[in-house]
Structure 1
Amino acid sequence: MDILRLPTALRSSLLRQPALRRLLHSAATYEAPRDDVPPPSLAAAPALLTLSSTTLNSYQVSLPPTNTHLRFANTYFTSAPPEYLFTAPYFRSFPLSPHPEVAFLGRSNVGKSSLLNALFGRTNIKDAHVSKRPGRTRTMNGFGVSGGLAMGAAPKEAQREAMWKRFPRGGCVVVDMPGYGGGSREAWGKEAMKYLEGRKQLRRTFVLVDAEHGLKRTDVELLTHLRRQGIAHQIVLSKTDKLLYPGAKPPGPLKLNNGLLKLRDLCGSIRSKLNHEAGGRDTTVDILCCSAEKSLDERNKHRKLGIDEVRWAVLSACGLECDGEGNRKRGLSQDIKILEEEDE
């Protein structure tokens, strides 16, 4: 065990133990054996890290999903195309809804639209518009993910405007939020904050951070605000392939191990920055790592890196997880039946 890799508090606690201090002292004063004495047996080298939910992501709040969970999440999101439900330029224009919602937001050009298309399993047909121009998303757009449940009958009037009324219970709504930062307008941010702070249907906010560039000042400000307001959120490191898959060929075991260690260090540095901003208090938040472009499994190239874990996090937030056998749970959570009491 490399004690320097332990968290500071745990390392300090261990170093206060007399037995461990004597062990470290004896190791420091160890003399090399003489030539006529056989060398002691070498400790087995630590195994290289392999790709899994626990090595790819950093969980502090949620339990890592099992393979059964990931298969269920993949099927749920890909069994039917997403339904475009509504566009809301202002918070007051959001429709009344009985469905649980999650929001995805991040700095302009962080790769949010590409990630959402991968989340929906629609990398060839773009539901969320992808653009090289920052700040392309200017409204809050709702996409319904039904898990294959049948849509209800179309209303007789205003069918397009009331599309969300056909959306079945047992589904969830993914809200594509405007980007913040240099490519976005302040007015969009005000409406976005109204939504994040006031929408009763919102179950969790996913904040995208570019894995290649790390936290920016605006990221820290947003995450600190979400924490102070008690808004449930998770960090999603996008473009993780830049660290794990920098070349044209899949990485070998050693490169993959080194890349996963870089990701682990990056997650640690993100938490350190957020802890510093919070006055030294520990930041307890899950950090999910994914790529909308590449997969490390040559047999399943359509399953992008870490996307199933993000899907599972969405379902968990909305109370739509499967049981231990991978079957859809019967019934619905009571809290998704709440409608906002506001004028249409």
Structure 2
Amino acid sequence: MREKQLNNDLFQPAVISMEASEKITEESTSFWQDARRRLFENKGSVAGLIIIAVILLFAFLGPVLSQYGFDDQDVSRANLPPRIPVLEKVGFLGIDGVDIRGVNQYEMKNQKDNYYWFGTDALGRDQFVRVWKGTQISLYIAFLAAAIDMVIGVAYGAISGYRGGRTDNIMQRIIEIVIGIPNLIVIILFILILEPGILSITISLVITGWTTMARIVRGQILKLKNQEFVMASQTLGANSSRILTKHMFPNILGSIIITSMFTIPNAIFFEAFLSFIGLGIAPPTASLGSLVNEGFKSLQIYPHLVLYPAVIISLIMISFNLLGDGLRDALDPKMRK
């Protein structure tokens, strides 16, 4: 077989352009743009974000949609099961005004023209209004806990880790003392001084709720403060506040956000637990935990009193955990594909 001769006609000179070699073929993205893209690619975090948005919307619009207040009482409409227009004709949904004994409570109590989407409680109060009003209280406590983490926990942990030495030792011993005091004991002490309610829960969170964030921030600061870019900034004469705000905080912001996202469901569960054992929100004000506590007493006869607040608590905790997982993956550079 004859080999093909190589000659100049078989080759063409390559066109080398400096502009073409330096041209960026893909769009340049920052760290936060890439994190946002990866967050929205995570179906679980998107689902959690949508659930949170819907719950927030109903929490603020729900009480406005009803003509009744959260504390309006009328025993003539006590313990009515859920009833929703149009959907009441679908029997298997259980929202047709018929209780578990097969009795139409609306006809029996002359309430044929009224609709209570979540039913009513033993005092005739509209559960739809009370559930969403309770959601407001629970979300307030949850976001308050996150704010305390962001302010007290971040500042305390940053100072402890950056100063180091004796200052760090003293501050960490203080954290160990605070952690050693159970939250329930602190709540009981403030209830004895004040009374059950939002104020006592708020003060207890201010005292004990920031320790986890402080430890996480301290660990991140200890890891970063000996890095080359920090030492270079110190060599150029930057003061401590500038190094913390301009160089360290941007590098630990992901950890702060993730920890705050996981703080929110923990705070909601904490408030629900306190209200369930009678140490939380005082009536007539409602929270999701207090509503579960009230409905639990008549669970077998009127299950709707427990069902709706329990479902809302579960959805809030699941959605914030899903969002926290998505943020953890999106803000971690090691998770990039």
TM-score, normalised on structure 1?
0.24
The structure having more radius of gyration, on CA atoms, is: 2
Higher strand share: 1
Q: Which has the higher helix share?
A: 2
